[in-house]
Amino acid sequence: MSNLYDLGLPKTAANHVALSPVSFVERSAEVFGDLPAVIHGQRRYTWRELRDRSARLAAALRALGIGRNDTVSVMLPNTPEMIEAHYAVPALNAVLNTLNTRLDASLLAWQMHHCEARVLITDREFAPTIAPALRLLRDEHGRTPIVIDVADSEYLGAGERLGTHEYEALLAEHEPLARLEGPQDEWDAIAVSYTSGTTGDPKGVVTHHRGAYLNAVCNAATWTMPHFPVYLWTLPMFHCNGWCFPWTVAMLGGVQVCLRKVDAPHILGAMRDHGVDHYCAAPIVHNLLIAAPAELHAGLSDAGPSGAGPSGAGPSGAGPSSAGRKKIRGMVAGAAPPASMIEGMAQLGFDITHVYGLTEVYGPASVAVQRPSWAGESLSDQTRLNGRQGVRYPLQEGMTVRGADDMVETPADGQTMGEIMFRGNIVMKGYLKNPAATEKAFEGGWFHTGDLAVMEADRYVKIKDRSKDIIISGGENISSLEVEDALYRHAAVLACAVVARPDDKWGETPVAFVELRPTAHVTAPELVAHCKSLLAGYKVPREIRFEEIPKTSTGKIQKFALRERARAGAAVAVAVTAPAAVKP
Amino acid sequence: MSNLYDLGLPKTAANHVALSPVSFVERSAEVFGDLPAVIHGQRRYTWRELRDRSARLAAALRALGIGRNDTVSVMLPNTPEMIEAHYAVPALNAVLNTLNTRLDASLLAWQMHHCEARVLITDREFAPTIAPALRLLRDEHGRTPIVIDVADSEYLGAGERLGTHEYEALLAEHEPLARLEGPQDEWDAIAVSYTSGTTGDPKGVVTHHRGAYLNAVCNAATWTMPHFPVYLWTLPMFHCNGWCFPWTVAMLGGVQVCLRKVDAPHILGAMRDHGVDHYCAAPIVHNLLIAAPAELHAGLSDAGPSGAGPSGAGPSGAGPSSAGRKKIRGMVAGAAPPASMIEGMAQLGFDITHVYGLTEVYGPASVAVQRPSWAGESLSDQTRLNGRQGVRYPLQEGMTVRGADDMVETPADGQTMGEIMFRGNIVMKGYLKNPAATEKAFEGGWFHTGDLAVMEADRYVKIKDRSKDIIISGGENISSLEVEDALYRHAAVLACAVVARPDDKWGETPVAFVELRPTAHVTAPELVAHCKSLLAGYKVPREIRFEEIPKTSTGKIQKFALRERARAGAAVAVAVTAPAAVKP
């Protein structure tokens, strides 16, 4: 082994710097400084102004004593201040903790205590939750973070002032930091985000600069995003740092359109008013858009209902000089968005890219890259192909489906189930103060997602279920997602969830919880007949219950609560049919 | 300073891997394995086949003793074997030395000796040069690399067999390496490329895996490349590893169309036959395309002559499902391509992105990102804006224009000249065995390009000249490029170069060397009059000489040779007019 290339070729300031997404902010301020960066109600910031505000925030936080590895918690909707926190906190080598704004006071206090928050930046709208959370922190944990109140011009309500500092005043008091720079070591933490916990205690997912940088870049490369996108903040930034998109848009010198309130009129209005061309959202947001009155859809996008197919992996619209509106492109994640949602969005003329990921992998980590040959498939086949979890992000090193016990990769047969696992630079550092959970998550050199899937013949991954959501009936695996997908294909179904109920004869049987659209009607026997037309008999729900479905603060369905309900029996339960013979 | 996030969060196989562009090859083979990867004459390889061939080559080289930091030289045109070398050699942690196929035997021997080549892979076409180079290596340097001959199916000539191994036989003898993997340390060398040396000795530019990975990604992000591009190899891969595009196309699962011979019929034929949508090339190649007969242009691109303006930063064509041909997108580099070239390509309906770079920064390092507002400018203004060196690549950390002596950044006034400098992760490790040159190149924490430029008001950089090419006449700086640009605007001029000649009165005066188009005629006084209509009087060439212009092996004009000629006087010289008054 030669050392020919090791000698006299050291790292210097000229040829090495730690990877950090903060670098994109400086670049856009430098070379696109006069271009628009943020739109929020009547507020407008250029890239130079946004960088300047972020650098003032960084200077103010530094003056408050914030430095390397100090945690800054934020309780903010998708406002300019939330974007600025994503640029300022990492530039201090501090760690950003974005609190889920839907949590209750005790959980907020628990998280801020766990990650040892030294500063809290909070929007006045959340004072009613934050005030008791701060009292809990002080009284139970003996911890008192410095509180900075944000009085957003777009928030019209009241809201107690809780802190000793006011955001805009603080910015005015401090000269901007000379330069927003990354840390010395790109492995340093950039953020800690708590999983919402469909089961058990929340875990603090610690991510690093290197991973955030690479995923920010990979979002752009995977989605073929052009320079200067107009990006709408439908996805909460508190969710995995907005899948790294605050940094992706900075890299591309784009515009971030803020949004305090995520409902169909606000979303569609912002899209129309500001020429939005990109956004990310959960399936549930898309259902809102599909269900919105037709007049809200008018004039949004180039393509009419006929432009329903995938338009290839590249962007559908031409460049800015092209006549007419650009096609609006949405990135949607979720274990398995119902086919009806993908079809519905296509019929509205939106171009939907389907991704899959988790907080532990910085948001999206795989993508259903649309192959050219799909254009020749039928619309329903396109929808099926496009609705899969797909292939790993190009900057992620590995994605596999393996037996969790034997770590053997499952064959690409579309049948054999295994657990989805990732490895590479876009995987978290680990769980904060939880080495046992970290070690378990990384067992065998792969990050275990807990999601069960098959690998199809083209090596695209298709999720079947969360491992704990599989229903085992008469020795057969039933994917609750497959049954839910069948239910969603009934026009009356707004939301549904299928869980296992213990059964003396079959081991488990599927029970469905269903919410109907406001004006729709359907009976349980009708829904069962509908399912029978689509599913093998043993997969048809044994019971259908029209009840409100409990969700976590991030909108995930709480199946563990439903399982308890199913076990306990229920007031509104309507027993329908016995499952058919188990073997098809 | 807290250590909260340093504890219990180690790097593991699950969350850390060295960045290496080799990773893209494995991914495309894994998830796009059945899709086309290479087209070369009648040969076709899928991504699985291309990966398999590369992994066999890697296994064969390993069996020949190649490992970390061992140099593998290649003397290859743009064939599949050249691509395979880019995948196999880095996967062994060895270092790829791509020899410029236009060099003579003594320079080839010098380079292989300097980088201590252990293996040489050589195409039979080059046997007449390589045979004496090998003799020189043996006789003068006592060095005998193992030689592997390539007998390309598309090469119809003869060509002596020089080595003990034949490429295809070697591949057949070895089972493919199980996995193409990057090194343990991403700072390890990936390639050594010799500068062509417009002045002085060639220098061995050592690049690393981290930089090659980031530039490969940045090419795609900067150029908004879609998945599955059809990329034509007009740019020699021996030139800065084809600007990292062998790895960029791997990342996107695209097709690489090989090309042994770079002339207009072959280029335009390949574009038409294979639906090429992306290529890179030097300005001189574009001049060939513009000058080609109209029948060769027919049916190539969507846009007719009216589609002349920049089409925005994004790709111009719609996705693969769009009707009709995609617009062909070219990336062109060079200190300052003449405006006539940019206009000519636009009129042919090509979409040209202008980049700037050097071997030391892995090829392109800055790009004239087309701002949306440019669409409203006149065609000539668009051409001017688009022909600048532009802004740094987003993954490059810094680009500046500074006084080389005081390191003070020049104001963004479009007037003050300084030297272009870069810093960041896409800068070479340094020059092989040349610490003095390395240190000089990195002085003050920036890589010094030696190119002189101004920063315009929008902070886009515009090259004025190589520092040594500036002409100082009567105390005024004259950019030779500006004078050349004026000459190129005359229809009869095929190629030109302007250099300084010592002058007793003015210090220096500009002298122009001109090559005319085959059927064109123009007199020296007519060209002078043409220049006077475009330039201040003192910039007009004092003398115009119709002579062949000497070029380096990479097609760069050898101005040092012309300066000697200008100083010596010349047979064909035609003195024309005295320069006008110096002060404008």
Which chain A residues are within 8 Å of B427, Cβ to Cβ? 14-15
- pLDDT value at residue A310: 37
Which chain A residues are within 8 Å of B320, Cβ to Cβ? 312-314, 372, 375
Residue A415 phi/psi, 5-degree rounding, is -120, -45
Q: How confident is the model at residue A269 (pLDDT cuts 50, 70, 90)?
A: very high
What mean pLDDT is predicted for residues B465-472?
A: 76
Listed residues A222, A250, A282: the one ending a domain = A222
Q: Is residue A199 part of a domain?
A: yes
Spatial strand order of the sheet with B363-367 comes to B43-46, B36-40, B255-257, B230-232, B278-281, B329-332, B351-358, B363-367, B391-392
| Residue A326 touches partner B, C-beta closer than 8 Å | no
Name, in order, each residue with C-beta under 8 angstroms of A486's C-beta and a sequence gap of 6 or more.
A530, A531, A534, A535
Q: Is residue A401 part of a domain?
A: no
Which chain B residues are within 8 Å of A6, Cβ to Cβ? 69
What is the C-alpha to C-alpha distance for residues B84 and B95, in angstroms, rounded to an integer? Answer: 14
- pLDDT value at residue A342: 76
CB burial readout B505-534, b (16+ within 10 A) else e: ebebbbbbbbebeeeeebebeebbebbeee
Q: Is residue A245 part of a domain?
A: no
Identify the weakest region by mean pLDDT among A170-184, A281-295, A518-532. A281-295
Q: Is residue B221 part of a domain?
A: no
Q: Do the Cβ atoms of A220 and B221 come within 8 Å? A: yes
Looking at chain A, the whole-number percentage of residues with pLDDT higher than 70 is 90
Nearest to A15 among B13, B314, B428 (CB): B428
What is the C-alpha to C-alpha distance for residues B309 and B325, in angstroms, rounded to an integer? Answer: 18
- Please check the confidence at residue A320 and state whether its pLDDT lies above 70: no
CB A196 within 8 A of CB A202: yes
- Please check the confidence at residue B575 and state whether its pLDDT lies above 50: no
B366: closest chain A residue by CA = A31
Nearest to A14 among B2, B251, B442 (CB): B442
- Please check the confidence at residue B312 and state whether its pLDDT lies above 50: no
What is the C-alpha to C-alpha distance for residues B150 and A385, in angstroms, rounded to an integer? Answer: 42
What mean pLDDT is predicted for residues B15-24?
A: 98
Q: What tens digit of pLDDT does each residue of A400-426 get?
A: 999 988 999 999 999 999 999 999 999
Q: Which residue range forms the structural domain that includes residue A377? A: 264-395+451-466
- pLDDT value at residue A302: 54
Looking at chain A, the whole-number percentage of residues with pLDDT higher than 90 is 65
- Please check the confidence at residue B300 and state whether its pLDDT lies above 80: no
Which chain B residues are within 8 Å of A440, Cβ to Cβ? none
Task: Tokens for B76, please give them.
Answer: 């290859």
For residue A415, how many other CB atoms are within 10 A of its CB?
10
| Residue A113 touches partner B, C-beta closer than 8 Å | no
- pLDDT value at residue A577: 32
Q: What tens digit of pLDDT does each residue of A436-460 get?
A: 999 999 999 999 998 889 999 999 9
Nearest to A442 among B15, B32, B116 (CB): B15
| Residue A517 touches partner B, C-beta closer than 8 Å | no
CB B350 within 8 A of CB B383: no
| Residue A356 touches partner B, C-beta closer than 8 Å | no
- Please tell me whether residues A191 and A44 are part of one structural domain: yes
Q: CA of A8, closest CA in chain B: separation in Å? A: 6
Burial of residue A293 (number of CB atoms within 10 Å: 0-12, 13-18, 19+): exposed
Q: What tens digit of pLDDT does each residue of A122-143 get?
A: 999 999 999 999 999 999 999 8
| Residue B221 touches partner A, C-beta closer than 8 Å | yes
Q: How confident is the model at residue B318 (pLDDT cuts 50, 70, 90)?
A: very low
- Please tell me whether residues B66 and B182 are part of one structural domain: yes
Q: CA of B373, closest CA in chain A: separation in Å? A: 9
SS3 A235: coil
Q: Is residue B343 part of a domain?
A: yes
Closest CA to B524 of B573, B484, B465, B453: B573
Listed residues A466, A494, A517: the one ending a domain = A466
- What DSSP element (H or E) covers B121? strand B117-123
| Cα four-point dihedral sign B509, B513, B519, B524 | positive
| Pairwise pLDDT comparison (A71 vs B467), residue with the higher score | A71
Q: Which of A15, A207, A353 should be substituted to probe chain B, the one whose Cβ sees the most B Cβ atoms within 10 Å?
A: A15
B167-to-A497, B22, B53, B122 alpha-carbon distances in Å: 59, 21, 11, 9
Q: Is residue B223 part of a domain?
A: no
Q: What tens digit of pLDDT does each residue of B400-425 get?
A: 999 988 999 999 999 999 999 999 99
- pLDDT value at residue B271: 94
Q: Which of A5, A251, A301 should be substituted to probe chain B, the one whose Cβ sees the most B Cβ atoms within 10 Å?
A: A5
Q: What tens digit of pLDDT does each residue of A4-46 get?
A: 999 889 999 999 999 999 999 999 999 999 999 999 999 999 9
- Please check the confidence at residue B572 and state whether its pLDDT lies above 70: no
What is the C-alpha to C-alpha distance for residues A361 and A489, in angstroms, rounded to an integer? Answer: 31
Name, in order, each residue with C-beta under 8 angstroms of A504's C-beta and a sequence gap of 6 or more.
none
Length of chain A (residues): 584
- Which residues of chain A from 494 to 513 reach within 8 Å of chain B, CB to CB? none
| Residue A224 touches partner B, C-beta closer than 8 Å | yes
| Residue A438 touches partner B, C-beta closer than 8 Å | yes
Q: Do the Cβ atoms of B2 and A313 come within 8 Å? A: no
Q: Is residue A382 part of a domain?
A: yes
Amino acid at B265: P
SS3 A497: strand
What mean pLDDT is predicted for residues A470-499?
A: 85
- Please check the confidence at residue A579 and state whether its pLDDT lies above 90: no
Q: Is residue B304 part of a domain?
A: yes
- pLDDT value at residue B299: 73
SS3 B18: coil
Listed residues B451, B466, B481: the one ending a domain = B466
- Please tell me whether residues A59 and A208 are part of one structural domain: yes
- pLDDT value at residue B508: 85
| Residue A112 touches partner B, C-beta closer than 8 Å | no
Which chain A residues are within 8 Å of B428, Cβ to Cβ? 15
A32: closest chain B residue by CA = B458
SS3 A58: helix
- Please tell me whether residues A150 and A191 are part of one structural domain: yes
| Residue B412 touches partner A, C-beta closer than 8 Å | no
- Please tell me whether residues B332 and B416 are part of one structural domain: yes
Q: How confident is the model at residue B268 (pLDDT cuts 50, 70, 90)?
A: very high
Highest mean pLDDT among A313-317, A387-391, A570-574, B200-204 belongs to A387-391
3 state SS for A185-220 = CCCCEEEEEECCCCCCCCCEEEEEHHHHHHHHHHHH
What's the whole-number average pLDDT of chain B? 88
What mean pLDDT is predicted for residues B125-149?
A: 95
**Residue B510's domain is classified under what CATH number?**
3.30.300.30
- Please check the confidence at residue A494 and state whether its pLDDT lies above 60: yes
Closest CA to B22 of B81, B85, B74: B85
Residue B201 phi/psi, 5-degree rounding, is -70, 150
| Pairwise pLDDT comparison (B481 vs B40), residue with the higher score | B40
In this structure, the strands spanning B493-503 and B507-516 are: antiparallel
| Residue B12 touches partner A, C-beta closer than 8 Å | yes
Q: Interface pTM (ipTM) of the complex? A: 0.86
Which chain A residues are within 8 Å of B253, Cβ to Cβ? 369
| Cα four-point dihedral sign B99, B105, B111, B115 | positive
- pLDDT value at residue B197: 53
CB burial readout A508-526, b (16+ within 10 A) else e: bbbbbbbebeeeeebebee
What is the C-alpha to C-alpha distance for residues A342 and A365, in angstroms, rounded to an integer? Answer: 19
Closest CA to A228 of A330, A110, A320: A320
What's the whole-number average pLDDT of chain A? 88
For residue A280, how many other CB atoms are within 10 A of its CB?
26
CB B402 within 8 A of CB B408: yes
Q: How confident is the model at residue A583 (pLDDT cuts 50, 70, 90)?
A: very low
What is the C-alpha to C-alpha distance for residues A392 and B23, in angstroms, rounded to an integer? Answer: 12
- Please tell me whether residues B516 and B570 are part of one structural domain: yes
- pLDDT value at residue B298: 79
Nearest to A311 among B228, B319, B371 (CB): B319
- Which residues of chain A from 365 to 404 reach within 8 Å of chain B, CB to CB? 369-372, 375, 391-392, 394-395, 397
- pLDDT value at residue A334: 66
Q: Which of B3, B4, B5, B302 should be substituted to probe chain A, the one whose Cβ sees the most A Cβ atoms within 10 Å?
A: B5
- pLDDT value at residue A578: 31
What is the C-alpha to C-alpha distance for residues A497 and A547, in angstroms, rounded to an integer? Answer: 10
Which chain A residues are within 8 Å of B425, Cβ to Cβ? 15-17, 19
- pLDDT value at residue A358: 92
Which chain A residues are within 8 Å of B440, Cβ to Cβ? none
- Please tell me whether residues B413 and B453 are part of one structural domain: yes
Extract long-range pairs of B290-299: CB within 8 Å, 24+ residues apart. Answer: B290/B341, B290/B344, B290/B345, B290/B348, B291/B264, B291/B517, B292/B264, B292/B265, B292/B268, B296/B264, B296/B265, B296/B268, B296/B269, B297/B268, B297/B348, B299/B272, B299/B325
Q: Residue B485 region, left (φ>0) first, then alpha (ψ -120 to 50), else beta? A: alpha
- pLDDT value at residue B334: 66
Q: Do the Cβ atoms of A5 and B188 come within 8 Å? A: yes
Q: What tens digit of pLDDT does each residue of A177-202 get?
A: 999 999 999 999 999 999 865 555 78
3 state SS for B385-415 = HHCCCEEECCCCCEEEEECCCCCCECCCCCC
| Residue A250 touches partner B, C-beta closer than 8 Å | no
Nearest to B423 among A14, A317, A428 (CB): A14
Q: What tens digit of pLDDT does each residue of A219-233 get?
A: 999 999 999 999 999
Looking at chain B, the whole-number percentage of residues with pLDDT higher than 70 is 90
Q: Do the Cβ atoms of B1 and A251 come within 8 Å? A: no
Distance of CA B361 to the CA centre of its chain: 11
| Residue A310 touches partner B, C-beta closer than 8 Å | yes
Q: Partners of A4 in the beta sheet?
A: none
- How many structural domains is chain A composed of? 3
- pLDDT value at residue B311: 38
- Please tell me whether residues B512 and B571 are part of one structural domain: yes
Q: Do the Cβ atoms of A433 and B19 come within 8 Å? A: no
What is the C-alpha to C-alpha distance for residues B225 and A563, in angstroms, rounded to an integer? Answer: 47
| Residue B65 touches partner A, C-beta closer than 8 Å | no
Q: Do the Cβ atoms of B394 and A27 come within 8 Å? A: yes
- Please tell me whether residues B201 and B303 are part of one structural domain: no
Q: How confident is the model at residue A554 (pLDDT cuts 50, 70, 90)?
A: low
Q: How confident is the model at residue B326 (pLDDT cuts 50, 70, 90)?
A: confident
Burial of residue A409 (number of CB atoms within 10 Å: 0-12, 13-18, 19+): middle
Which chain A residues are within 8 Å of B422, Cβ to Cβ? 14
- Please check the confidence at residue B237 and state whether its pLDDT lies above 80: yes
- Count of A–B CB contacts within 8 Å? 285
Which chain A residues are within 8 Å of B371, Cβ to Cβ? 32, 35, 228
- pLDDT value at residue A313: 33
Q: Do the Cβ atoms of A15 and B442 come within 8 Å? A: yes
Closest CA to A270 of A286, A254, A256, A287: A256
Q: CA of B458, closest CA in chain A: separation in Å? A: 7
In this structure, the strands spanning A493-503 and A507-516 are: antiparallel
Q: Partners of B498 in the beta sheet?
A: B512
Task: Tokens for B349, please give them.
Answer: 């309906």
SS3 B54: helix
- Please tell me whether residues B299 and B411 are part of one structural domain: yes
Q: How confident is the model at residue B302 (pLDDT cuts 50, 70, 90)?
A: low
- Please tell me whether residues B497 and B552 are part of one structural domain: yes
Q: Do the Cβ atoms of A442 and B12 come within 8 Å? A: yes
Q: At which residue do the structure tokens 């007019």 appear?
A: B577
- pLDDT value at residue A568: 79
Which chain B residues are within 8 Å of A188, Cβ to Cβ? 5
**Residue A325's domain is classified under what CATH number?**
3.40.50.12780
- pLDDT value at residue B584: 28
Closest CA to A1 of B146, B179, B186, B95: B95
- Please check the confidence at residue A282 and state whether its pLDDT lies above 90: no
Q: CA of A584, closest CA in chain B: separation in Å? A: 33
Which chain A residues are within 8 Å of B15, Cβ to Cβ? 211, 423-425, 427-430, 442, 447
| Cα four-point dihedral sign A481, A486, A491, A497 | negative
Q: How confident is the model at residue B362 (pLDDT cuts 50, 70, 90)?
A: very high
Q: What tens digit of pLDDT does each residue of A323-382 get?
A: 345 789 999 886 556 677 777 887 888 998 999 999 999 999 999 999 999 999 988 888
Q: Do the Cβ atoms of A397 and B68 come within 8 Å? A: no
- Please tell me whether residues A207 and A310 are part of one structural domain: no
Task: Tokens for A501, please give them.
Answer: 């109920």
What mean pLDDT is predicted for residues B46-73?
A: 98
| Residue B212 touches partner A, C-beta closer than 8 Å | no
Q: CA of B442, closest CA in chain A: separation in Å? A: 6
